[in-house]
Chains A and B, each alone.
Chain A
Amino acid sequence: NAGVTQTPKFQVLKTGQSMTLQCAQDMNHNSMYWYRQDPGMGLRLIYYSASEGTTDKGEVPNGYNVSRLNKREFSLRLESAAPSQTSVYFCASSGLAGGVDTQYFGPGTRLTVL
């Protein structure tokens, strides 16, 4: 039981390049999330998916797109990377644990855009 996995762990891009961050969970959760974490800013929600086939914008969606490929997988795409997108990206899934909707996080992807 791997929980939430993310690939890659590290990535360096040049301005204007594109890339896709991959996320998968094996806990049969319906909801999945993408966050970015910057110093002093905490976790900010980029996009979320309440169930397979649905996606919605969070607090900071500009410059990103997402795909809920199936129940297990939720990818985040940067079409044209900008230095402002340098951050640590976390994927999470949530499900009931003891009656509480609990988020489980992946290990993160550290992205640097030059």
Chain B
Amino acid sequence: QKEVEQDPGPLSVPEGAIVSLNCTYSNSAFQYFMWYRQYSRKGPELLMYTYSSGNKEDGRFTAQVDKSSKYISLFIRDSQPSDSATYLCLSGGSYIPTFGRGTSLIVHP
């Protein structure tokens, strides 16, 4: 079992929908949490990060961490076709950062 679990999808939603992407992790030593976005045939790029439990907002994106349940979420409001990509969560700390498998998101017009 990987230290960071993520449903690979695909997740298909209509334009304008609210999207929820989720990961769970098992290592209590993880201290920070990130979301990377990867477009087809490209390398991943950092989208958001957070250190603590709670919410962090950036435009249409909200990252949420619940350390008590070891649960990481990314919410996308008013989703757009340009949000279609694979979203990877990453957990890090004193260990080498660990990626989830990634969730493929498709936003159709």
Residues of B within 8 Å of A45, CB to CB, are: 96
Known A40-B8, A107-B43: A102·B49 in contact at CB below 8 Å: yes
**Mask: chain B, 60-102; 1 = CB below 8 Å from A; 0 = not:** 0000000000000000000000000000101010001101111
Known A100-B32, A103-B46, A105-B45: A42·B88 in contact at CB below 8 Å: yes
Can you list 7 A-B contacts with CB-CB less than 8 angstroms, sorted by A residue number? A40-B101, A42-B8, A45-B96, A100-B34, A101-B92, A103-B36, A103-B97
Report Cα–Cα, A103/B49, bound state, in Å.
Answer: 12
Residues of A within 8 Å of B32, CB to CB, are: 100-101
Beyond A97-B46, A102-B34, list 11 extra A-B contacts (CB 8 Å): A42-B88, A42-B99, A45-B96, A90-B43, A90-B44, A100-B34, A101-B97, A102-B46, A103-B46, A106-B43, A108-B42
Cβ of B9 to closest chain A Cβ, rounded Å: 10
Cβ of B32 to closest chain A Cβ, rounded Å: 7
Task: Assess whether B46 is in contact with A42, with CB atoms less than 8 Å apart.
Answer: no
Residues of A within 8 Å of B42, CB to CB, are: 107-108
Residues of A within 8 Å of B97, CB to CB, are: 94, 101, 103
Residues of B within 8 Å of A101, CB to CB, are: 32, 92, 97
**Most B-side CB within 10 Å, residue of A40, A43, A97, A100:** A43
In the complex, the 4 A-B pairs of residues with the closest C-beta atoms, listed nearest first: A105-B43, A42-B101, A43-B99, A42-B102
> Could you tell me which residues of chain A, from 26 to 55, have a CB within 8 Å of some CB in chain B?
40-43, 45, 48
> Could you tell me which residues of chain B, from 34 to 54, have a CB within 8 Å of some CB in chain A?
34, 36, 41-46, 49, 51
Cβ of A50 to closest chain B Cβ, rounded Å: 9
Task: Assess whether B96 is in contact with A43, with CB atoms less than 8 Å apart.
Answer: no
Within 8 Å of chain A (Cβ to Cβ): is B6? Answer: yes
Cβ of A82 to closest chain B Cβ, rounded Å: 23
